[in-house]
Amino acid sequence: MLGSRATESVMAASSDKLRVVDPHVHVWKNDPRFPWPKELANPPKEDALPSTLLGLMQRHGVEKTVIVHVIYYRWDCRYAADAVRRHADRFMGVCRVDPTSPTAADELSRWVREYGFHGVRLSPYSGPGGDWINDHKAMDPIFRRAAELGVPMCILCDADRLDDVGRVIERHAERLDVCIDHMADCPIDEPQSLKKLLALARYPRVYVKLSHLWSLSRESYPYRDTHAQVRRLYDAFGPRRLMWGTDWPMVEQYCGYGKALALYRDEIDFFTDEDRRWILGGTAQKLWPFSQKEA
């Protein structure tokens, strides 16, 4: 496994080139080989294909991408795995496991060892349906297994779950990289919500994806009313623990793939060139070591 220091050496060696890595996209396809679960009442009508994504990457200079298994398939991660297998030079993958299953940790091992995933995502939503995050007998085996496997833990949650998530992180903070997806969608007019996210900066192995600015903003592109919140996160975590992300194809409902990249590359004016090297690619390479795959 390529550690953070080795990855930083790779960054330094290629400092003349801005390597862009998108750490957050989804893919799916209406295909009987990868059936939708019976409980999915309204499957997506339009496909989100790896070939479409590769075209966008080529057009906009995105070198690598992390495919996060989409929840439509529930706990069957085979379609994302197939995309990663077919395009191993461009993709890495993050799987999902059922956090309420007693075999969740073993399922994580299976997805990592047999299908090549590098990461797992849990989604403790608000309300009683996400209270499993407080069950340490369920959570600790999953977090321990991720640490043993050397893969990051991605957390999708709202701000009101951050205190619960923080308690789990604290028990595993020394051994596991954890990424909070989409800034926990902290509303830009609720400073107390953002304060909960900022508090996680005390754990050196916690990272944040600076994504979903378009869904938080009340303005049109480049969503300047969100930049102050990005600055607070930047000041707390630093650029080496922050990363952008398109959330493709969902971003097509807002500014589109190309502008999602331009937002962080061109529009947020307090990022330095060195900051952008980390936020647009270097940080993601620490958690998803594409450079190791190329070695």
Under 8 Å between Cβ of 251 and 264: no
Q: Residue 268 half-sphere exposure, CB side, CA atoms within 13 Å?
A: 29
Domain boundaries, the chain: 4-294
Edge-to-edge strands, sheet with 64-68: 21-25, 64-68, 91-96, 120-122, 153-155, 178-180, 206-209, 242-243
Token couple for 23: 């750490």
Cα 129 from Cα 132, distance rounded (Å):
7
Q: What pLDDT does residue 183 have? A: 98
Q: One digit per residue, pLDDT tens: the chain, 295 residues? A: 444 444 444 444 444 578 999 999 999 999 999 999 999 999 999 999 999 999 999 999 999 999 999 999 999 999 999 999 999 999 999 999 999 999 999 999 999 999 999 999 999 999 999 999 999 999 999 999 999 999 999 999 999 999 999 999 999 999 999 999 999 999 999 999 999 999 999 999 999 999 999 999 999 999 999 999 999 999 999 999 999 999 999 999 999 999 999 999 999 999 999 999 999 999 999 999 997 666 5
Q: Is 187 helix (H, G, I), strand (E, B) or coil?
A: coil
Q: What pLDDT does residue 251 have? A: 98
Q: What pLDDT does residue 293 have? A: 64
Q: What pLDDT does residue 17 have? A: 74
Partners of 120 in beta bridges: 95, 153
The highest-level CATH class for domain 4-294 is alpha beta
Instruction: Mention every residue, 6+ apart, whose C-beta is less than 8 A from residue 267.
Output: 222
Under 8 Å between Cβ of 24 and 181: yes
Token couple for 288: 């998803």
State the chain's maximal CA–CA distance in angstroms: 50
